[in-house]
Structure 1
Amino acid sequence: MSNVQNPKSNIQCPPYICPPNLHPVNIFARILRRWYRSIPQDEFGRLLWGKYFRRLFFKLTLWFFGITIGFTLLYAVLPIPVTPLMIERCWQQAWDDERNVRLKHDWVSFGEISPHLQLAVVCAEDQDFLEHEGFDFEAIEKAYKYNKNHKRKKGASTISQQTAKNVFLWPSRSWIRKGFEVYFTFLIETVWSKERIMTAYLNSIEFGDGIYGAEAAARHFYGKNAKTLNRQEAAMLASVLPNPLIFKVESPSSKVLQRKQWVLSQMRMWGGKIDYDEPNTPKKSDK
Protein backbone atom coordinates (compact mmCIF):
# COMPACT_ATOMS: atom_id res chain seq x y z
CA MET A 1 0.00 0.00 0.00
CA SER A 2 1.35 3.43 -0.89
CA ASN A 3 2.00 6.00 1.78
CA VAL A 4 0.55 9.50 1.90
CA GLN A 5 3.06 12.26 2.55
CA ASN A 6 2.07 15.44 4.30
CA PRO A 7 3.45 18.31 2.18
CA LYS A 8 4.19 20.33 5.37
CA SER A 9 6.44 17.65 6.86
CA ASN A 10 8.72 14.81 5.89
CA ILE A 11 6.76 12.33 7.96
CA GLN A 12 5.08 9.50 6.09
CA CYS A 13 2.43 7.18 7.39
CA PRO A 14 -0.28 4.89 5.99
CA PRO A 15 -3.49 6.85 5.26
CA TYR A 16 -5.63 4.51 7.37
CA ILE A 17 -3.45 5.24 10.40
CA CYS A 18 -2.58 8.90 9.95
CA PRO A 19 -4.56 11.01 7.45
CA PRO A 20 -2.84 14.13 6.11
CA ASN A 21 -2.56 16.99 8.63
CA LEU A 22 -3.52 14.73 11.56
CA HIS A 23 -0.09 13.53 12.56
CA PRO A 24 0.71 14.43 16.20
CA VAL A 25 3.67 16.55 15.13
CA ASN A 26 1.51 18.61 12.79
CA ILE A 27 -1.22 18.98 15.41
CA PHE A 28 1.32 20.17 17.97
CA ALA A 29 2.78 22.62 15.45
CA ARG A 30 -0.65 24.14 14.77
CA ILE A 31 -1.34 24.47 18.51
CA LEU A 32 2.05 26.11 19.03
CA ARG A 33 1.46 28.47 16.11
CA ARG A 34 -1.97 29.47 17.44
CA TRP A 35 -0.53 30.05 20.91
CA TYR A 36 2.28 32.21 19.50
CA ARG A 37 -0.21 34.33 17.57
CA SER A 38 -2.22 34.88 20.75
CA ILE A 39 0.70 36.76 22.33
CA PRO A 40 0.15 40.52 21.84
CA GLN A 41 2.79 42.50 19.95
CA ASP A 42 3.65 46.16 19.64
CA GLU A 43 3.94 48.07 16.36
CA PHE A 44 7.49 46.78 15.93
CA GLY A 45 6.52 43.13 16.29
CA ARG A 46 7.98 42.72 19.76
CA LEU A 47 6.17 40.29 22.03
CA LEU A 48 4.39 41.88 24.99
CA TRP A 49 4.84 39.13 27.56
CA GLY A 50 3.64 41.22 30.48
CA LYS A 51 0.32 41.93 28.77
CA TYR A 52 0.02 38.27 27.78
CA PHE A 53 0.51 36.97 31.32
CA ARG A 54 -1.91 39.55 32.73
CA ARG A 55 -4.55 38.32 30.28
CA LEU A 56 -3.74 34.71 31.10
CA PHE A 57 -4.00 35.35 34.85
CA PHE A 58 -7.34 37.10 34.35
CA LYS A 59 -8.72 34.21 32.28
CA LEU A 60 -7.50 31.56 34.74
CA THR A 61 -9.02 33.53 37.61
CA LEU A 62 -12.38 33.69 35.83
CA TRP A 63 -12.23 29.95 35.13
CA PHE A 64 -11.32 29.19 38.75
CA PHE A 65 -14.18 31.20 40.20
CA GLY A 66 -16.62 29.90 37.59
CA ILE A 67 -15.76 26.24 38.22
CA THR A 68 -15.62 26.44 42.01
CA ILE A 69 -18.82 28.46 42.34
CA GLY A 70 -20.50 26.14 39.84
CA PHE A 71 -19.61 23.01 41.82
CA THR A 72 -20.66 24.70 45.06
CA LEU A 73 -24.07 25.46 43.56
CA LEU A 74 -24.41 21.91 42.21
CA TYR A 75 -23.46 20.33 45.52
CA ALA A 76 -26.03 22.51 47.26
CA VAL A 77 -28.73 20.26 45.78
CA LEU A 78 -27.02 17.12 44.41
CA PRO A 79 -25.37 14.24 46.31
CA ILE A 80 -21.58 14.35 46.47
CA PRO A 81 -20.47 11.03 44.92
CA VAL A 82 -16.79 10.98 45.88
CA THR A 83 -14.22 13.18 47.61
CA PRO A 84 -10.46 13.67 47.19
CA LEU A 85 -9.87 11.96 50.55
CA MET A 86 -11.68 8.82 49.36
CA ILE A 87 -9.52 8.72 46.23
CA GLU A 88 -6.29 9.17 48.18
CA ARG A 89 -7.23 6.50 50.73
CA CYS A 90 -8.01 4.00 47.95
CA TRP A 91 -4.64 4.77 46.38
CA GLN A 92 -2.88 4.21 49.71
CA GLN A 93 -4.74 0.92 50.23
CA ALA A 94 -3.83 -0.27 46.74
CA TRP A 95 -0.11 0.16 47.48
CA ASP A 96 -0.27 -1.39 50.94
CA ASP A 97 0.10 -5.18 50.89
CA GLU A 98 -1.47 -5.48 54.35
CA ARG A 99 -4.67 -3.59 53.46
CA ASN A 100 -7.50 -4.30 51.05
CA VAL A 101 -8.99 -1.60 48.88
CA ARG A 102 -12.29 -0.70 50.53
CA LEU A 103 -14.65 2.19 49.93
CA LYS A 104 -17.98 2.13 51.73
CA HIS A 105 -19.99 5.26 51.07
CA ASP A 106 -23.77 5.68 50.79
CA TRP A 107 -25.17 9.18 50.48
CA VAL A 108 -28.33 9.86 52.49
CA SER A 109 -30.43 12.98 52.84
CA PHE A 110 -30.59 15.23 55.90
CA GLY A 111 -33.77 13.58 57.17
CA GLU A 112 -32.17 10.12 57.01
CA ILE A 113 -29.43 10.98 59.53
CA SER A 114 -30.11 10.49 63.22
CA PRO A 115 -30.57 13.77 65.15
CA HIS A 116 -28.46 12.14 67.87
CA LEU A 117 -25.51 11.89 65.49
CA GLN A 118 -25.94 15.48 64.34
CA LEU A 119 -25.87 16.65 67.94
CA ALA A 120 -22.97 14.36 68.84
CA VAL A 121 -20.65 15.73 66.14
CA VAL A 122 -21.56 19.31 67.06
CA CYS A 123 -20.73 18.61 70.71
CA ALA A 124 -17.52 16.80 69.81
CA GLU A 125 -16.18 18.96 66.99
CA ASP A 126 -17.76 22.42 66.86
CA GLN A 127 -20.19 23.62 69.50
CA ASP A 128 -20.50 27.06 67.88
CA PHE A 129 -21.48 25.54 64.52
CA LEU A 130 -24.92 27.14 64.46
CA GLU A 131 -23.67 30.58 65.43
CA HIS A 132 -20.43 31.22 63.51
CA GLU A 133 -20.12 31.94 59.80
CA GLY A 134 -17.52 29.31 59.09
CA PHE A 135 -14.69 30.29 61.43
CA ASP A 136 -14.33 30.18 65.21
CA PHE A 137 -11.79 32.93 65.83
CA GLU A 138 -11.78 32.36 69.59
CA ALA A 139 -10.85 28.70 69.06
CA ILE A 140 -8.19 29.70 66.52
CA GLU A 141 -6.61 32.08 69.03
CA LYS A 142 -6.62 29.43 71.76
CA ALA A 143 -5.10 26.84 69.41
CA TYR A 144 -2.39 29.29 68.35
CA LYS A 145 -1.37 29.98 71.95
CA TYR A 146 -1.46 26.27 72.81
CA ASN A 147 0.61 25.23 69.78
CA LYS A 148 3.36 27.72 70.60
CA ASN A 149 4.11 25.88 73.84
CA HIS A 150 3.35 22.26 72.92
CA LYS A 151 4.83 19.84 70.42
CA ARG A 152 1.52 18.12 69.84
CA LYS A 153 -0.56 20.48 67.72
CA LYS A 154 -4.16 21.35 68.46
CA GLY A 155 -6.59 22.15 65.65
CA ALA A 156 -9.37 24.71 65.54
CA SER A 157 -11.21 23.78 62.35
CA THR A 158 -14.97 24.16 62.41
CA ILE A 159 -17.41 21.70 60.88
CA SER A 160 -17.73 24.10 57.95
CA GLN A 161 -13.96 24.12 57.41
CA GLN A 162 -13.78 20.33 57.66
CA THR A 163 -16.60 20.03 55.14
CA ALA A 164 -14.88 22.39 52.70
CA LYS A 165 -11.64 20.42 53.07
CA ASN A 166 -13.28 16.99 52.74
CA VAL A 167 -15.46 17.83 49.74
CA PHE A 168 -13.20 20.04 47.63
CA LEU A 169 -9.53 19.72 48.67
CA TRP A 170 -6.64 17.30 48.95
CA PRO A 171 -5.92 15.91 52.44
CA SER A 172 -2.25 16.90 52.92
CA ARG A 173 -1.44 19.94 55.04
CA SER A 174 0.06 23.10 53.57
CA TRP A 175 -0.47 26.83 53.69
CA ILE A 176 -1.72 26.76 50.09
CA ARG A 177 -4.39 24.20 50.94
CA LYS A 178 -5.31 26.21 54.05
CA GLY A 179 -5.85 29.25 51.86
CA PHE A 180 -8.15 27.32 49.55
CA GLU A 181 -9.92 25.94 52.63
CA VAL A 182 -10.73 29.48 53.78
CA TYR A 183 -12.10 30.29 50.31
CA PHE A 184 -14.30 27.19 50.07
CA THR A 185 -15.50 27.63 53.65
CA PHE A 186 -16.66 31.13 52.76
CA LEU A 187 -18.37 29.74 49.65
CA ILE A 188 -20.36 27.02 51.36
CA GLU A 189 -21.32 29.27 54.27
CA THR A 190 -22.62 31.78 51.70
CA VAL A 191 -24.43 29.33 49.41
CA TRP A 192 -25.43 26.39 51.62
CA SER A 193 -27.66 26.27 54.65
CA LYS A 194 -26.41 24.89 57.97
CA GLU A 195 -28.52 21.79 57.33
CA ARG A 196 -26.80 21.27 53.98
CA ILE A 197 -23.35 21.73 55.51
CA MET A 198 -24.21 19.16 58.17
CA THR A 199 -25.54 16.78 55.51
CA ALA A 200 -22.38 17.06 53.41
CA TYR A 201 -20.19 16.72 56.49
CA LEU A 202 -21.88 13.57 57.79
CA ASN A 203 -21.86 12.02 54.32
CA SER A 204 -18.17 12.64 53.62
CA ILE A 205 -16.43 12.34 56.99
CA GLU A 206 -14.16 9.32 57.56
CA PHE A 207 -15.28 6.99 60.37
CA GLY A 208 -12.78 4.20 59.76
CA ASP A 209 -10.48 2.68 57.17
CA GLY A 210 -12.49 2.87 53.93
CA ILE A 211 -15.72 3.87 55.72
CA TYR A 212 -17.14 7.26 54.80
CA GLY A 213 -20.35 8.88 55.91
CA ALA A 214 -22.96 8.19 58.54
CA GLU A 215 -24.89 5.57 56.56
CA ALA A 216 -21.86 3.42 55.76
CA ALA A 217 -20.62 3.71 59.36
CA ALA A 218 -23.99 2.80 60.86
CA ARG A 219 -24.32 -0.26 58.63
CA HIS A 220 -20.72 -1.39 59.12
CA PHE A 221 -20.47 -0.98 62.90
CA TYR A 222 -24.08 -1.44 64.07
CA GLY A 223 -25.93 -3.19 61.24
CA LYS A 224 -28.57 -0.47 60.97
CA ASN A 225 -29.20 2.66 58.97
CA ALA A 226 -28.04 6.11 60.03
CA LYS A 227 -31.53 7.31 60.90
CA THR A 228 -31.93 4.79 63.74
CA LEU A 229 -28.65 5.42 65.57
CA ASN A 230 -29.23 5.98 69.29
CA ARG A 231 -27.41 8.36 71.65
CA GLN A 232 -24.75 5.85 72.73
CA GLU A 233 -23.91 4.83 69.16
CA ALA A 234 -23.87 8.43 67.94
CA ALA A 235 -21.55 9.49 70.76
CA MET A 236 -19.18 6.61 69.99
CA LEU A 237 -19.00 7.52 66.29
CA ALA A 238 -18.36 11.17 67.13
CA SER A 239 -15.65 10.20 69.61
CA VAL A 240 -13.36 8.68 66.96
CA LEU A 241 -13.49 11.66 64.59
CA PRO A 242 -10.22 13.27 65.68
CA ASN A 243 -8.39 10.34 64.07
CA PRO A 244 -10.60 7.45 62.87
CA LEU A 245 -7.61 5.46 61.60
CA ILE A 246 -6.20 5.27 65.14
CA PHE A 247 -9.32 5.47 67.31
CA LYS A 248 -11.55 2.46 66.67
CA VAL A 249 -15.31 2.16 67.08
CA GLU A 250 -15.20 -1.63 67.28
CA SER A 251 -12.38 -1.72 69.87
CA PRO A 252 -12.36 1.65 71.65
CA SER A 253 -9.44 2.59 73.84
CA SER A 254 -9.86 4.08 77.30
CA LYS A 255 -9.27 7.51 75.78
CA VAL A 256 -12.10 7.00 73.29
CA LEU A 257 -14.45 5.76 76.02
CA GLN A 258 -13.59 8.77 78.15
CA ARG A 259 -14.24 11.08 75.22
CA LYS A 260 -17.56 9.31 74.58
CA GLN A 261 -18.71 10.06 78.14
CA TRP A 262 -17.74 13.69 77.69
CA VAL A 263 -19.72 13.88 74.42
CA LEU A 264 -22.77 12.35 76.14
CA SER A 265 -22.55 14.93 78.93
CA GLN A 266 -22.40 17.72 76.36
CA MET A 267 -25.41 16.26 74.53
CA ARG A 268 -27.40 16.39 77.77
CA MET A 269 -26.45 20.04 78.22
CA TRP A 270 -27.85 20.73 74.76
CA GLY A 271 -31.17 19.18 75.69
CA GLY A 272 -30.76 16.22 73.35
CA LYS A 273 -31.39 17.98 70.04
CA ILE A 274 -30.31 20.77 67.68
CA ASP A 275 -32.69 23.54 66.69
CA TYR A 276 -31.41 24.85 63.35
CA ASP A 277 -34.04 27.58 63.20
CA GLU A 278 -33.46 29.01 66.68
CA PRO A 279 -30.02 27.90 67.86
CA ASN A 280 -29.57 28.00 71.59
CA THR A 281 -25.97 27.05 72.25
CA PRO A 282 -25.25 26.21 75.89
CA LYS A 283 -22.07 27.24 77.58
CA LYS A 284 -19.26 24.92 76.54
CA SER A 285 -17.08 22.99 78.91
CA ASP A 286 -13.50 22.08 78.14
CA LYS A 287 -12.62 18.56 77.09
Structure 2
Amino acid sequence: MAPFELGVLHEVFGIDRSDDGVPAFDYQVCAEHPRTRFPVAGGMHVTARRGLAACAQADLIALPSGPIDHPPSAAVLSAVRAAVDRGAYVLAVCTAAFTVAAAGVLDGRPCATHWRYAPQLQHRFPDVLVNPDALYLQAGSVVTSAGTAAGIDACLHLIRTELGPAIAGRIARRMVVAPHRDGGQRQFLERPLLPAASSSLAGLLEWLDEHLADQHTLQSMARRATLSPRTLLRRFHAETGGTPYAWLTSRRVARAQELLEGGALSMEAIARHVGLGSATLLRHHFRAHVGVSPLQYRRQFHIRPDA
Protein backbone atom coordinates (compact mmCIF):
# COMPACT_ATOMS: atom_id res chain seq x y z
CA MET A 1 0.00 0.00 0.00
CA ALA A 2 1.18 3.53 -0.72
CA PRO A 3 1.60 5.50 2.53
CA PHE A 4 0.92 8.88 0.93
CA GLU A 5 -2.54 7.90 -0.28
CA LEU A 6 -3.36 6.38 3.12
CA GLY A 7 -2.13 9.64 4.66
CA VAL A 8 -4.41 11.65 2.37
CA LEU A 9 -7.46 9.69 3.52
CA HIS A 10 -6.47 10.11 7.17
CA GLU A 11 -5.76 13.83 6.70
CA VAL A 12 -9.20 14.51 5.23
CA PHE A 13 -11.40 12.12 7.21
CA GLY A 14 -9.35 11.06 10.25
CA ILE A 15 -8.54 14.40 11.92
CA ASP A 16 -11.00 16.08 14.26
CA ARG A 17 -11.58 19.62 12.94
CA SER A 18 -14.75 20.32 14.89
CA ASP A 19 -13.11 23.46 16.28
CA ASP A 20 -13.34 24.80 12.70
CA GLY A 21 -16.98 23.83 12.36
CA VAL A 22 -16.22 20.65 10.42
CA PRO A 23 -18.36 17.64 11.39
CA ALA A 24 -16.33 14.86 12.99
CA PHE A 25 -16.10 11.66 10.95
CA ASP A 26 -16.13 8.15 12.39
CA TYR A 27 -12.85 7.15 10.73
CA GLN A 28 -11.72 3.53 10.94
CA VAL A 29 -8.92 1.62 9.25
CA CYS A 30 -10.08 -1.85 8.22
CA ALA A 31 -8.32 -4.83 6.68
CA GLU A 32 -9.19 -8.35 5.65
CA HIS A 33 -6.85 -9.63 8.38
CA PRO A 34 -7.09 -7.23 11.35
CA ARG A 35 -4.33 -7.01 13.95
CA THR A 36 -1.88 -8.44 11.42
CA ARG A 37 1.07 -6.31 10.35
CA PHE A 38 1.36 -5.80 6.61
CA PRO A 39 4.06 -3.80 4.82
CA VAL A 40 3.72 -0.45 3.14
CA ALA A 41 6.37 1.39 1.15
CA GLY A 42 9.48 2.75 2.82
CA GLY A 43 9.99 -0.11 5.29
CA MET A 44 6.89 0.72 7.35
CA HIS A 45 4.07 -1.56 8.50
CA VAL A 46 0.40 -0.93 9.26
CA THR A 47 -1.86 -2.86 11.63
CA ALA A 48 -5.61 -2.34 11.25
CA ARG A 49 -7.84 -2.85 14.27
CA ARG A 50 -11.04 -3.59 12.40
CA GLY A 51 -11.98 -6.28 9.90
CA LEU A 52 -13.94 -5.89 6.68
CA ALA A 53 -17.20 -6.55 8.54
CA ALA A 54 -17.05 -2.91 9.69
CA CYS A 55 -17.49 -1.84 6.06
CA ALA A 56 -21.10 -2.98 6.15
CA GLN A 57 -22.04 0.11 8.19
CA ALA A 58 -19.84 2.64 6.40
CA ASP A 59 -21.17 5.60 4.39
CA LEU A 60 -17.84 5.67 2.54
CA ILE A 61 -15.25 2.99 1.81
CA ALA A 62 -11.98 4.58 0.70
CA LEU A 63 -9.22 2.49 -0.88
CA PRO A 64 -5.63 3.78 -1.00
CA SER A 65 -3.47 2.81 -3.94
CA GLY A 66 -1.46 -0.36 -4.06
CA PRO A 67 0.30 -2.74 -6.45
CA ILE A 68 -1.54 -3.64 -9.63
CA ASP A 69 0.18 -6.98 -10.24
CA HIS A 70 -1.69 -8.80 -7.43
CA PRO A 71 -5.45 -9.32 -7.86
CA PRO A 72 -7.60 -8.19 -4.92
CA SER A 73 -9.07 -10.88 -2.71
CA ALA A 74 -12.65 -12.11 -3.01
CA ALA A 75 -13.42 -10.61 0.42
CA VAL A 76 -12.30 -7.12 -0.63
CA LEU A 77 -14.23 -7.32 -3.91
CA SER A 78 -17.32 -8.46 -2.04
CA ALA A 79 -17.06 -5.50 0.36
CA VAL A 80 -16.82 -3.08 -2.59
CA ARG A 81 -19.83 -4.61 -4.37
CA ALA A 82 -21.91 -4.63 -1.19
CA ALA A 83 -21.16 -0.96 -0.57
CA VAL A 84 -22.22 0.04 -4.08
CA ASP A 85 -25.35 -2.14 -3.90
CA ARG A 86 -26.55 -0.37 -0.74
CA GLY A 87 -25.73 3.10 -2.10
CA ALA A 88 -22.61 3.86 -0.05
CA TYR A 89 -19.73 5.76 -1.59
CA VAL A 90 -16.60 3.95 -2.74
CA LEU A 91 -13.51 6.11 -3.28
CA ALA A 92 -10.51 4.60 -5.09
CA VAL A 93 -7.30 6.62 -5.03
CA CYS A 94 -4.86 6.15 -7.93
CA THR A 95 -4.26 2.45 -8.69
CA ALA A 96 -7.06 1.38 -6.35
CA ALA A 97 -9.15 1.89 -9.50
CA PHE A 98 -7.95 -1.59 -10.50
CA THR A 99 -9.74 -2.99 -7.44
CA VAL A 100 -13.09 -1.32 -8.10
CA ALA A 101 -12.82 -2.25 -11.77
CA ALA A 102 -12.21 -5.88 -10.78
CA ALA A 103 -15.34 -5.69 -8.63
CA GLY A 104 -17.33 -4.98 -11.80
CA VAL A 105 -18.91 -1.78 -10.50
CA LEU A 106 -17.38 0.41 -13.23
CA ASP A 107 -18.42 -1.50 -16.36
CA GLY A 108 -19.71 1.03 -18.90
CA ARG A 109 -18.82 3.91 -16.59
CA PRO A 110 -16.05 6.55 -16.61
CA CYS A 111 -13.00 6.00 -14.45
CA ALA A 112 -9.81 7.90 -13.58
CA THR A 113 -6.40 6.65 -12.53
CA HIS A 114 -2.80 7.81 -12.77
CA TRP A 115 -1.99 8.54 -16.43
CA ARG A 116 0.93 6.10 -16.30
CA TYR A 117 -1.34 3.15 -15.53
CA ALA A 118 -4.37 4.18 -17.60
CA PRO A 119 -3.43 2.01 -20.63
CA GLN A 120 -3.02 -1.06 -18.41
CA LEU A 121 -6.34 -0.42 -16.69
CA GLN A 122 -8.09 -0.06 -20.05
CA HIS A 123 -6.45 -3.20 -21.42
CA ARG A 124 -7.29 -5.28 -18.36
CA PHE A 125 -10.87 -4.00 -18.07
CA PRO A 126 -12.07 -3.10 -21.60
CA ASP A 127 -15.64 -2.42 -20.43
CA VAL A 128 -14.48 0.44 -18.19
CA LEU A 129 -14.31 3.92 -19.76
CA VAL A 130 -10.85 5.00 -18.65
CA ASN A 131 -10.13 8.74 -18.88
CA PRO A 132 -6.34 9.24 -18.66
CA ASP A 133 -6.63 13.03 -18.26
CA ALA A 134 -9.16 13.40 -15.43
CA LEU A 135 -7.98 14.32 -11.94
CA TYR A 136 -11.02 12.51 -10.55
CA LEU A 137 -14.38 11.21 -11.78
CA GLN A 138 -17.64 10.19 -10.16
CA ALA A 139 -19.79 7.40 -11.61
CA GLY A 140 -22.84 6.91 -9.44
CA SER A 141 -21.52 6.33 -5.94
CA VAL A 142 -18.02 5.34 -7.14
CA VAL A 143 -15.31 8.02 -7.21
CA THR A 144 -11.91 7.34 -8.77
CA SER A 145 -8.91 9.64 -8.84
CA ALA A 146 -5.52 10.04 -10.45
CA GLY A 147 -2.31 9.70 -8.43
CA THR A 148 -1.09 11.24 -5.18
CA ALA A 149 -2.38 14.82 -4.84
CA ALA A 150 -5.40 14.08 -7.06
CA GLY A 151 -6.63 11.93 -4.18
CA ILE A 152 -7.01 15.14 -2.19
CA ASP A 153 -9.12 16.59 -5.01
CA ALA A 154 -11.38 13.53 -4.97
CA CYS A 155 -11.80 13.63 -1.18
CA LEU A 156 -12.67 17.32 -1.22
CA HIS A 157 -15.13 16.66 -4.06
CA LEU A 158 -16.97 14.18 -1.84
CA ILE A 159 -16.95 16.62 1.07
CA ARG A 160 -18.25 19.37 -1.20
CA THR A 161 -20.99 17.07 -2.56
CA GLU A 162 -22.23 15.88 0.84
CA LEU A 163 -21.51 18.82 3.16
CA GLY A 164 -21.20 21.83 0.85
CA PRO A 165 -18.40 24.09 -0.37
CA ALA A 166 -17.95 25.90 2.96
CA ILE A 167 -16.94 22.73 4.82
CA ALA A 168 -14.71 21.62 1.94
CA GLY A 169 -13.06 25.04 1.98
CA ARG A 170 -12.35 24.84 5.73
CA ILE A 171 -10.68 21.45 5.35
CA ALA A 172 -8.69 22.66 2.34
CA ARG A 173 -7.55 25.75 4.24
CA ARG A 174 -6.30 23.63 7.15
CA MET A 175 -4.49 21.35 4.68
CA VAL A 176 -3.08 24.40 2.82
CA VAL A 177 -4.37 23.15 -0.54
CA ALA A 178 -6.69 24.55 -3.18
CA PRO A 179 -10.34 23.57 -2.54
CA HIS A 180 -10.71 22.90 -6.26
CA ARG A 181 -8.20 22.54 -9.09
CA ASP A 182 -8.97 23.16 -12.75
CA GLY A 183 -7.73 21.10 -15.65
CA GLY A 184 -6.55 17.53 -15.86
CA GLN A 185 -3.39 15.46 -15.81
CA ARG A 186 -2.17 16.76 -19.16
CA GLN A 187 -0.64 19.82 -17.47
CA PHE A 188 1.67 17.49 -15.50
CA LEU A 189 2.83 15.26 -18.37
CA GLU A 190 6.30 15.44 -19.87
CA ARG A 191 6.60 17.71 -22.85
CA PRO A 192 7.13 16.19 -26.30
CA LEU A 193 10.78 15.49 -26.92
CA LEU A 194 12.79 15.84 -30.08
CA PRO A 195 13.43 12.57 -31.93
CA ALA A 196 16.62 10.58 -31.54
CA ALA A 197 19.61 11.58 -33.63
CA SER A 198 19.12 8.42 -35.69
CA SER A 199 15.80 9.75 -36.99
CA SER A 200 15.88 10.71 -40.65
CA LEU A 201 14.05 13.94 -39.72
CA ALA A 202 16.28 14.83 -36.76
CA GLY A 203 18.05 17.66 -38.58
CA LEU A 204 14.82 19.20 -39.82
CA LEU A 205 13.05 18.94 -36.47
CA GLU A 206 15.96 20.42 -34.56
CA TRP A 207 16.03 23.33 -37.01
CA LEU A 208 12.25 23.83 -36.69
CA ASP A 209 12.55 23.75 -32.90
CA GLU A 210 15.05 26.60 -33.10
CA HIS A 211 12.80 28.60 -35.44
CA LEU A 212 9.37 28.18 -33.88
CA ALA A 213 8.61 31.88 -34.24
CA ASP A 214 8.83 31.61 -38.05
CA GLN A 215 5.94 30.49 -40.20
CA HIS A 216 6.40 27.15 -41.94
CA THR A 217 4.48 25.45 -44.72
CA LEU A 218 4.60 21.87 -45.88
CA GLN A 219 6.41 23.02 -49.02
CA SER A 220 9.04 25.03 -47.13
CA MET A 221 9.70 22.15 -44.74
CA ALA A 222 9.97 19.70 -47.62
CA ARG A 223 12.51 21.96 -49.35
CA ARG A 224 14.50 22.18 -46.13
CA ALA A 225 14.55 18.38 -45.84
CA THR A 226 15.18 17.93 -49.61
CA LEU A 227 12.12 15.70 -49.80
CA SER A 228 8.88 15.83 -51.70
CA PRO A 229 5.88 16.99 -49.64
CA ARG A 230 4.31 13.53 -49.90
CA THR A 231 7.48 11.79 -48.66
CA LEU A 232 7.82 14.30 -45.83
CA LEU A 233 4.26 13.60 -44.68
CA ARG A 234 4.88 9.86 -44.77
CA ARG A 235 8.10 10.11 -42.74
CA PHE A 236 6.54 12.52 -40.26
CA HIS A 237 3.75 10.07 -39.56
CA ALA A 238 6.17 7.15 -39.25
CA GLU A 239 8.60 8.91 -36.92
CA THR A 240 6.37 11.22 -34.86
CA GLY A 241 2.97 9.58 -35.15
CA GLY A 242 1.34 12.71 -36.57
CA THR A 243 1.51 15.51 -39.10
CA PRO A 244 4.06 18.36 -39.36
CA TYR A 245 1.36 20.79 -38.24
CA ALA A 246 0.55 18.71 -35.13
CA TRP A 247 4.23 18.39 -34.23
CA LEU A 248 4.86 22.12 -34.63
CA THR A 249 1.82 22.99 -32.54
CA SER A 250 2.86 20.66 -29.72
CA ARG A 251 6.39 22.09 -29.67
CA ARG A 252 5.03 25.64 -29.68
CA VAL A 253 2.76 24.88 -26.75
CA ALA A 254 5.67 23.22 -24.90
CA ARG A 255 7.82 26.31 -25.46
CA ALA A 256 4.95 28.51 -24.24
CA GLN A 257 4.84 26.42 -21.05
CA GLU A 258 8.53 27.17 -20.44
CA LEU A 259 7.99 30.89 -20.96
CA LEU A 260 4.97 30.93 -18.66
CA GLU A 261 6.93 29.14 -15.94
CA GLY A 262 10.04 31.27 -16.04
CA GLY A 263 9.21 34.76 -17.28
CA ALA A 264 6.82 37.69 -17.21
CA LEU A 265 6.13 38.13 -20.94
CA SER A 266 2.60 39.07 -21.93
CA MET A 267 0.39 36.51 -23.66
CA GLU A 268 0.71 38.38 -26.94
CA ALA A 269 4.51 38.39 -26.67
CA ILE A 270 4.61 34.68 -25.87
CA ALA A 271 2.29 33.92 -28.79
CA ARG A 272 4.60 35.78 -31.18
CA HIS A 273 7.71 34.20 -29.67
CA VAL A 274 6.46 30.65 -30.24
CA GLY A 275 4.91 31.29 -33.65
CA LEU A 276 1.23 31.16 -32.70
CA GLY A 277 0.58 34.73 -33.82
CA SER A 278 -1.92 35.98 -31.25
CA ALA A 279 -2.96 35.49 -27.66
CA THR A 280 -6.31 34.15 -28.85
CA LEU A 281 -4.65 31.39 -30.88
CA LEU A 282 -2.28 30.67 -28.00
CA ARG A 283 -5.18 30.22 -25.59
CA HIS A 284 -6.99 27.93 -28.05
CA HIS A 285 -4.07 25.55 -28.63
CA PHE A 286 -2.82 25.73 -25.03
CA ARG A 287 -6.14 24.66 -23.56
CA ALA A 288 -6.50 21.90 -26.16
CA HIS A 289 -3.05 20.47 -25.32
CA VAL A 290 -2.68 21.20 -21.60
CA GLY A 291 -6.28 21.32 -20.37
CA VAL A 292 -6.10 24.75 -18.72
CA SER A 293 -5.67 28.31 -19.96
CA PRO A 294 -2.18 29.89 -20.17
CA LEU A 295 -3.10 32.24 -17.31
CA GLN A 296 -4.16 29.36 -15.06
CA TYR A 297 -0.96 27.51 -15.92
CA ARG A 298 1.18 30.54 -15.08
CA ARG A 299 -0.54 30.98 -11.72
CA GLN A 300 0.12 27.34 -10.83
CA PHE A 301 3.63 26.79 -12.19
CA HIS A 302 5.33 30.20 -12.37
CA ILE A 303 8.79 30.16 -10.80
CA ARG A 304 9.86 33.44 -9.17
CA PRO A 305 13.30 34.70 -10.27
CA ASP A 306 14.48 34.70 -6.65
CA ALA A 307 13.24 31.15 -5.95
Range into which the TM-score falls when normalised by the shorter chain: under 0.3
Report the structure, 1 or 2, having the larger strand content: 2
Compute the TM-score of the two structures, normalised by the length of structure 1: 0.23
Structure having greater relative contact order (Cα 8 Å, sep ≥ 6): 1
Asked which structure has the greater CA Rg, the reply is 1
Compute the TM-score of the two structures, normalised by the length of structure 2: 0.22
